[in-house]
A and B are shown apart, each in its own frame.
Chain A
Amino acid sequence: NAGVTQTPKFRVLKTGQSMTLLCAQDMNHEYMYWYRQDPGMGLRLIHYSVGEGTTAKGEVPDGYNVSRLKKQNFLLGLESAAPSQTSVYFCASSLPGTRGSEQFFGPGTRLTVL
């Protein structure tokens, strides 16, 4: 049981390049989330999904797109990377329905945009 895994762990991009971050979970969770973490700003929700084929915008969605084609995978795309997107990105998943469900986090992807 690997829990939540993220690929890649590190990446350096040049301004304007694109990339996709992959998140996979093996806990059969319905809900999945993408966050970014910046110093002193906690975690900010980028996009989330409440089930296969559904996505929704979070607090800071601009410049990012997501897809949830399979229940176990949640992809985060950067179409044209900007230095402001330098951050650590975390994926998480949780059970649906109850507000008492905690989130399970992946190890993070450290992205630098030059």
Chain B
Amino acid sequence: AQSVTQLGSHVSVSEGALVLLRCNYSSSVPPYLFWYVQYPNQGLQLLLKYTSAATLVKGINGFEAEFKKSETSFHLTKPSAHMSDAAEYFCALNTNAGKSTFGDGTTLTVKP
């Protein structure tokens, strides 16, 4: 069975601080992993994805994620948080059948 676990449903950081959002996965096949962002009252949009090429993936808005097979993790980071980063973030794992399994989401709050 394939699953995604996001550790921490709420994360709060100060503006300018490091952002770290955690995602662990379980997959019986080599994983294809995604991070999506959802701003209030909007749909999800892709931040970045890992598709078995480079293990360090860079995305939009200064975010990046590192795939670590030994730790079954795909944590999302940004060196310096901005107020505009406040949103909900979802980690997702693609299955063979064209479907995605999503984590429960992490709400990021950025304090001034």
Interface residues of A (CB under 8 A from B): 4, 31, 33, 40-43, 45, 48, 50, 58, 90, 92, 94, 96, 99-103, 105-108
| Total of A-B residue pairs, C-beta within 8 Å | 57
Residues on A with C-beta less than 8 A from B77 are none
Using a CB–CB distance below 8 Å, which chain B residues touch chain A?
9, 32, 34, 36, 41-46, 49, 51-52, 90, 94-96, 98-100, 102-105
CA gap between A85 and B32 in the complex, in Å: 31
B32-A99 in contact (CB<8A): yes
Whether A99 lies near B43 (C-beta < 8 A) is no
Q: Is the CB of B104 within 8 A of A107?
A: no
Distance of A114 Cα from B104 Cα, bound (Å) = 26
Among A101, A103, A106, find the residue whose CB has the most chain B CB atoms closer than 10 A.
A103
Q: Closest CB of chain B to A43's CB: distance in Å?
A: 4
Residue of A31, A41, A99, A105 touching B45 (CB-CB under 8 A): A105
